[in-house]
Amino acid sequence: MGSKDSLIVTVLAILVFKDYLCESGLAATVTYDHRALVIDGQRRVLLSGSIHYPRSTPEVWPELIRKSKEGGLDVIETYIFWNYHEPVRGEYYFEGRFDLVRFVKVVQEAGLYVHLRIGPYACAEWNYGGFPTWLHFIPGVQFRTSNAIFKEEMKRFLAKIVTIMKEEKLFATQGGPIILAQVENEYGNVEWAYGVGGELYVKWAAETAVSLNTTVPWVMCQQEDAPDPIINTCNGFYCDEFTPNSPSKPKMWTENYSGWFLAFGNPIPFRPVEDLAFSVARFFETGGTFQNYYMYFGGTNFGRTAGGPLIASSYDYDAPIDEYGFIRQPKWGHLRDLHKAIKQCEGYLVNSDPTYERLGVNLEAHIYYKNTQECAAFLANIDKSLDANVTFNGNSYNLPAWSVSILPDCKNVIFNTAKVVSQRSLGDLSYAHPTTMRESLLGPSAWGWYKEKVGIWSDNSFTGSSLLEQINTTKDTSDYLWYTTSCNKQRTCQPVPVFLLAVAFHVLFYLETVAGFGYGNHEDASFTLSKKVTLNEGNNTLDMLSMIIGLQNYGPWFDIAGAGIFSVILSDLMNNTEDVSSREWTYQIGLEGEYLGLDTISLANSSLWTLGSDIPINQSLIWYKTTFIAPEGTGPLALNLSSMGKGQAWVNGQGIGRYWSAYLAPSAGCTENCDYRGSYDASKCLKNCGQPAQTLYHIPRTWVHSGDNLLVLHEELGGDPSKISVSTRIGQEVCAHVSESDPPPVDAWTPNLEVMSLNPEVRLSCEQGWKITSINFASFGTPEGQCGKFSQGICHGENVLSVVQQACIGQEGCSLPVSAANFGDPCPGVLKSLAIEALCSD
């Protein structure tokens, strides 16, 4: 056996042994030094991805983990969600979507590691940042500072999670997959607001974590003052310039944002994969050895789990795996190839610190030496617009602007972050094409409805002598709080044709009928509503419904940020005003429909519902219910609520989230083709301007059954339920366009092999269970256009379609070399490319 074959066998043996350790439950020691995490005495380069277990369902966890592993990940990172694990103090819940032990074991069965971010503060755009609301009501408590009450509760929960993991033998030293744990979360971003109490709290949190004896390292992210032995880590869009606070700690990146979260009223943010890959490559180029994507799969904020203000139900995050569990291309594929290239360099990356070499203006190399003869290199062009040719080790290389090339042998470029050759997907669940989607309209028949009462609806209301803050009043048992008062036109309010209202979040204002409504946005939830009204002679009742859209989850002292109606002022045309905020108000927590349980299956056939085909539409505060047959298939469903206004939805009693189709994003600020070059931030690349942030709502397949399924909606503003539809994906259109000048597949290269001897390839693959059923376009020569809009150029091979069909039809995937030897040469001397569009289906 030759030396090349020996090396391949050695690499395969190491990879297989790593999986064996995870799956078989063999104990492993985990430590660290200045270069990397050290597992059983070996420094490791680790690629990680965040998947939050409650944002999907247990039935799909194995599939998500499988796709993560196939994408090149070594580690799955997740937060722990205290408010759902301990909804009542001392009463714990670890079932269903919150079965943490089951999730960790699914990861272990796949042969991957786990980074457990216990916190217990999570942020994560999760309601109240993951804190249980009962914690807020313990007398004398102050969150995230040196407060004895808070520290006692936090330590108790940390110990609870650690104990569970130990009892299940899930730490690496017990044969489990957990190699890292995290205490607190991004506290360094807000520590300034807590003064000395914050500094003391950081030291206490570190000491407490270490005292729990997990036998694996602890980290604190965004925490420059993390005490030894806690590793301080970086969060952000770029972390190549990050340096740990001690020369004995490795350079680690716990949150590399694959996109950004979605908020009602905002456009949809996305991050080009060229920039994401650039950030990852730069991190490993400059000495990093652990990197995590936040998120690798984002999922869904089911029910009322979304944080605030105004976080949407979709937590898709433009992640490599989309909200519904489908692979997002080309992001997933381009990053998979990047991971393969980085792993080719692992032996060099963990052996030495990088050596810097300047190649020109905004041009640089970082070299990792194994010995004087062997090295790996990263060549970077950090210019925002100018491509460049550079000379390195006597060879010439082209570097596109804002890109990194990876040379695992300091000679051959096997990957460049700006050159995307992986396949692309056409459309998503909003792309309703009959060949890829199965959709059914619910229609106007067989609906029931219940009109919610305005204002005080029961005898459990109560009065107060001033306006009450909403969260302290409702204790987050409901999104809703009624504020009711009265005024007499002949006395207090005369002449009062103008009503001014200063409020927060979202409010409906009634004076017999809807008189107005107002709302804020994610960036500033507070707002002022000014409304002219005509009062009746005598007594007038003013009813105001304040609606929270997720409790705040981030910021200094966020736990005491208020919500609700803060000021009510009456004014006349002469600008004479009366502040009625301190008069007597009557309060009602929640809605009557909530109290009755209209969202539950048990009331589906109740006489409370009015039945008929003449559905009342465009009415505020109304409940709707109907049944539907789920479209055939095994995949997830999407509920299209674009015809509705604002509210909540349930399927078979399961909350699928809040919706707000009536809130449109600003019409300006989006770009069809966002330039990946230059620093990215959450507002750089936006789409869907002038449209609702979200109209499709995820229904897990396991939440429906054959036969009738119950859909219940609570509509707050007004909509038309007869136009609601439900759909599922039954296929996908995929495409690729690869040039003769593009790099060959990363996994085709082996040491001592010249890249120039290899051909680029078009590689197509379908989601598991689907096969390529047709080729919609194929051209070798000079095809023009983009995926979905390809056309033949002036140079086109004659038998390309038949060659592609023979190689691909009936296959789950296929690979075709981009070479005249494969297709003939229709135009000698001309740079040619291969473009293919294919349909995958079941």
Instruction: Kindly list the catalytic residues.
Output: 186, 255
Beta carbons within 8 Å of 735's beta carbon, 6+ residues apart? 423, 424, 426, 777, 787, 788, 790, 835, 836, 837, 838
Amino acid at 338: L
* Segments of 352-394 assigned E as strands: 355-360, 363-369, 375-381, 388-392
> 195-211 vs 148-167: helix axis angle to the nearest 10?
20
Q: Which residues pair with 357 in a beta bridge?
A: 365
SS3 14: helix
CA dist., res. 562 & res. 553, Å (int): 12
Beta carbons within 8 Å of 116's beta carbon, 6+ residues apart? 78, 80, 104, 161, 165, 178, 180, 181, 182
- Write out the two tokens for 602: 């048990």
Question: In the structure, how many helices (H) and strands (E) does the chain have?
Answer: 14, 46
Q: What separation, in Å, do the N-terminal and C-terminal C-alpha atoms of the chain show?
A: 43
- 3-state SS of 590-653 is CCHHHHHCCCCHHHCCCCCCEEECCCCCCCCCEEEEEEEECCCCCCCEEEECCCCCCEEEEECC
Task: Estimate to the nearest angstrom the gap between the alpha carbon of 134 and the chain centroid.
Answer: 27
Tokens 């005003």 label which residue?
577
Compute CA distances 129 → 223, 293, 301, 302, 335, whole Å.
18, 20, 13, 15, 30
Spatial CA neighbour of 817 closest among 425, 426, 424, 421: 421
What is the CA angle 643-645-648, rounded to 5? Answer: 105
- Write out the two tokens for 268: 């949809």
Q: In what order do the strands lie in the sheet with 513-519?
A: 462-464, 585-589, 480-488, 539-547, 506-511, 513-519
Burial state string for 784-804 with b = 16 or more CB within 10 A and e = fewer than 16: eeebeebebbebbbeebbebb
Beta carbons within 8 Å of 474's beta carbon, 6+ residues apart? 480, 481, 548, 589, 590
Tokens 């699928």 label which residue?
656
CB atoms within 10 A of CB 405: 27
CB atoms within 10 A of CB 356: 11
Beta carbons within 8 Å of 296's beta carbon, 6+ residues apart? 49, 50, 51, 68, 71, 73, 76, 258, 319, 320, 321
Compute CA distances 349 → 43, 56, 366, 376, whole Å.
9, 35, 11, 8
Task: Estimate to the nearest angstrom the gap between the alpha carbon of 261 and the chain centroid.
Answer: 6
Q: In what order do the strands lie in the sheet with 375-381?
A: 355-360, 363-369, 375-381, 403-407, 415-416
Compute CA distances 267 → 197, 294, 525, 692, whole Å.
39, 20, 17, 8
CA dist., res. 549 & res. 506, Å (int): 8
Are 313 and 660 spatial neighbours (Cβ–Cβ below 8 Å)?
A: no
Burial state string for 525-551 with b = 16 or more CB within 10 A and e = fewer than 16: bebebeeebebeeeebbbbbbbbbbbb
Q: Sort 627 into a burial class: Cβ within 10 Å, 0-12 / 13-18 / 19+.
A: middle
Spatial CA neighbour of 769 closest among 732, 720, 723, 718: 732
Are 84 and 97 spatial neighbours (Cβ–Cβ below 8 Å)?
A: no
